């Protein structure tokens, strides 16, 4: 048993804004010691209460372009006039050490990661129970973010495009009850950790068992 080691997996949770992925991500991180967050780099302004290196790596557009040019990003995309991307080194280090990494990225970033590391990926798409529920959540959140009516409408419009990509994911969770959605996300993580291909040294372990019979 001591010879068995598991390579970490990349757990992607995507959804339109307001569908609940931040709440579910935080719950999974709290429940799983071996799960760490992928911290994205972004060019968007820092919001009140956000911490550099904890919520995001806040960089200039020039710094972001340099990271892309140096192949220091696993994926990157432009969202609402700002750039977001996943720094390569922290993720690769975590996977090699058997830690799982959870990602809060969109379908574009998911496609880029799939092209690079399909075997390591677990792709989960989160859907709201209805259009009305999604709009309600966006409006409630706008009280804190102070987004304009135009920005809310823009997010609703973008949500339709994002949800059209649900077929590119391995799992879909409809968030009509947040505790139930967290439970489903946890079940997916636990099952994916047990996949045969993720366990290094398993062949030798089984041969050893068979040889002693």
CB atoms within 10 A of CB 43: 19
pLDDT band at residue 16 using 50, 70 and 90 as cut-offs: confident
pLDDT in tens, 24-39: 999 999 999 999 999 9
Give residue 141's pLDDT band: very low, low, confident or very high (50, 70, 90).
Answer: low
Which pLDDT score, from 0 to 100, does residue 105 have?
87
Has residue 14 got a pLDDT over 80?
yes
**Domain boundary assignment for the chain:** 5-196
Diameter of the chain by CA atoms? 70
pLDDT at 147: 66
d(CA 22, CA 156): 17
Instruction: Answer whether CATH 3.40.50.720 is correct for domain 5-196.
Output: no
Say how far apart CA 160 and CA 168 lie, in whole Å: 15
Q: CA-to-CA distance for 186 and 180, rounded, in angstroms?
A: 10
| Cβ pair 187, 29 in contact under 8 A | no
Give dist(CA 109, CA 112) in Å, integer.
5
- Mean pLDDT for the stretch of residues 82-89: 94
């Amino acid at each position: 048993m001591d010879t068995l080691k598991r390579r970490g997996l990349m757990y992607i949770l995507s959804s339109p804004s307001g569908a609940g992925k931040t709440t579910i991500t935080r719950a999974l991180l709290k429940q799983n010691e071996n799960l760490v967050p992928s911290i994205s780099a972004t060019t968007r302004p820092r919001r009140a209460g956000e911490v550099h290196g904890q919520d995001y790596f806040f960089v200039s557009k020039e710094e972001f372009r340099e990271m892309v040019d140096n192949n220091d990003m696993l994926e990157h995309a432009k969202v609402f006039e700002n750039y977001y991307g996943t720094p390569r080194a922290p993720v690769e280090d975590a996977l090699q050490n058997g830690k799982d990494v959870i990602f809060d990225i969109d379908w574009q970033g998911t496609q880029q990661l799939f092209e690079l590391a399909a075997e390591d990926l677990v792709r989960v798409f989160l859907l709201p129970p209805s259009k009305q529920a999604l709009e309600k959540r966006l409006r409630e959140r706008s009280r804190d973010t102070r987004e304009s009516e135009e920005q809310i409408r823009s997010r609703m419009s973008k949500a339709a495009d994002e949800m059209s990509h649900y077929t590119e994911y391995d799992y879909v969770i409809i968030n009509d009850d947040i505790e139930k959605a967290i439970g489903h996300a946890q079940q997916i993580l636990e099952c994916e950790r047990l996949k045969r291909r993720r366990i290094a040294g398993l062949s030798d372990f089984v041969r050893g068992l068979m040889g002693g019979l």
